[in-house]
């Protein structure tokens, strides 16, 4: 399942949605989008199989976005290392 995530620079999820999520009903909307604020980023992520059964609310509440170069993935909040701590850990 593919999702669109807006996150801040610390990996906190601001919003998460499934593209085209109108439950098979015509919405009358031709196009929609998200306009991130300063310091926010839009990611299109293919969820791993083990996360596909999670609700969007659970993903929003319990996960953070980890960006390493071009690789974007969701990490449990309890296992997430803040970006400013990553650079300190390398020293």
Residue 48 belongs to a domain: yes
The shares of helix, strand and coil residues in the chain, as percent rounded to the nearest 5, are 25, 35, 45
83 lies in some domain: yes
Q: What is the DSSP letter of 36?
A: P
Quote the distance between the C-alpha of residue 80 and its chain's center: 13
Residue 53 belongs to a domain: yes
Answer whether residue 21 is part of any domain. yes
Structurally, how many domains does the chain consist of?
A: 1
pTM of full prediction above 0.85 = no
Mean per-residue pLDDT over the chain, rounded: 83
Q: Which residues pair with 43 in a beta bridge?
A: 5
Contact indicator for 16, 61 with CB cutoff of 8 Å: no
Q: How confident is the model at residue 68 (pLDDT cuts 50, 70, 90)?
A: confident
Model pLDDT for residues 35-58, shown as the tens digit of each residue: 889 999 999 999 999 999 999 999
**Which two tokens mark 54?**
């999670």
Average pLDDT score over residue span 17-45: 74
HSE toward the beta carbon, residue 21, CA cutoff 13 A? 10
> Is position 85 within any domain?
yes
Position 86 in a domain: yes
What residue numbers bound the domain in which 47 lies? Answer: 2-25+35-90
């Amino acid at each position: 399942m593919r999702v669109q995530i807006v996150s801040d620079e610390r990996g906190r999820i601001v919003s998460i949605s499934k593209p085209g999520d109108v439950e098979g009903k015509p919405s009358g909307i031709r196009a929609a989008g998200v306009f991130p604020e300063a310091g926010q980023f839009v990611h299109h992520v293919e969820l791993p199989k083990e996360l596909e059964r999670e609700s969007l609310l659970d993903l929003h509440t319990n996960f953070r976005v980890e960006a390493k170069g071009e690789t974007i993935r969701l990490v449990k909040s309890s296992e997430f290392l803040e970006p400013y701590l990553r650079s300190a850990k390398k020293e």
